Structure 1
Amino acid sequence: MADELVFCAKCGETKPRDAFYNQLHTTQPRRPCKTCLSTYKRARYAKKDGDRVSHAQVLREKYNLTPAEYDRMLTNQQGLCAICGKAETARGRGGAPKRLAVDHDHRNGLVRQLLCHRCNLVTWAVEENPSLLDAVRAYLERHTPRGV
C-alpha cells in the first residue's frame, strides 16, 4: 500500500498515497490532495471577515460546474432529488430551503446528479461502507412490530 498512487481531480495529478490525508472511519484517502487542500484553505482564510463564498464559486471550485450546468441538471430533474423524487426539505440559516446537493464520486470527483440533503448523507455513508445498507435494513426489520 505504501506505493499506492491516487488521482487528485483538483490538480489533475496522480500522487503517492501519503500526499493525501486519511478520511475518518475509512482507509480511503481524502480528496483533494494535501497541497490542493492547503491552497484552498489558505485562500478561504485570506478572505475578509463577513465575506461569504458564493454558490457559483463552490460549484466551480468543488465540482468544476458552472451555475448554468447546475441549473440544467436541476431542470432535468424537475427540481427534485434524483433518489427520493422529493423537493429539498432541509432549511438554511435564513429559513429558506437549501439547494439540492451536487452528488459526486468521492474517489474520482465525477459529478453524478443532484440529491436532497438526506439522500446525499445516506449515499455518502453507503458509498464509504456498502454493507451498511444491509445492516440498516436488518436493524429496521428487528424494530418493526409484527403485522405492520
Structure 2
Amino acid sequence: MIASQDGLCAICMAAPAIHVDHCHETGRVRGVLCFNCHSAIGTLGDDPDRIRRAISYLEGTRGSHHS
C-alpha cells in the first residue's frame, strides 16, 4: 500500500506515509497517512460531512464569517 502511494501520505501527498488509517466501524484499512493528516481526520471525527464543511469554510463558500 505504501509503495502504491509512492511512500507519501494518501491525503497531502507530501509527507511520509507512516500511520495506517482504518475505518473504526469495519476495521478495514483505508490507506497510509502522515501524522498530521491522520490526526486531522481523527479530530474531525472521521465524519465526511464535517470534513466537507471544513473544506467549504476554507474555500470561503459558507458565508462571510472571516475576513
Q: 1:130 to 1:74 in 2, by over 3 A?
A: closer
Indicate the residue corresponding to 1:83 in structure 2.
11
Take 1:126 and 1:84, find their aligned partners in 2: how far apart are those partners? 18
Shift of 1:122: 2.4
Take 2:49 and 2:11, find their aligned partners in 1: how far apart are those partners? 19
Shift of 1:116: 0.9
| TM-score between both structures, scaled by the size of structure 1 | 0.34
Gaps of 5+ in 2: none
Spell out the pairing of 1:87-126 with structure 2 (5 A cutoff). 87-88=15-16, 100-124=18-42, 125-126=44-45
Shift of 1:117: 1.2
Higher CA-based Rg: 1
Q: Amino acid of the residue matched to residue 120 of structure 1?
A: H
Take 2:10 and 2:33, find their aligned partners in 1: how far apart are those partners? 6
Shift of 1:126: 4.5
- The structure where helix makes up a greater share of residues is 1
Gaps of 5+ in 1: 1-72, 89-98
Q: Amino acid of the residue matched to residue 3 of structure 2?
A: T
Take 1:87 and 1:100, find their aligned partners in 2: how far apart are those partners? 9
Identity of aligned residues (%): 37
Which structure is higher in RCO with an 8 Å CA cutoff and minimum separation 6? 2
- Aligned residues, how many? 59
Shift of 1:132: 1.8
Deviations 1:26-70 (A, max 9, x none): xxxxxxxxxxxxxxxxxxxxxxxxxxxxxxxxxxxxxxxxxxxxx
| TM-score between both structures, scaled by the size of structure 2 | 0.66
Take 2:50 and 2:10, find their aligned partners in 1: how far apart are those partners? 21
Specify the SS of the correspondent of 1:83: coil
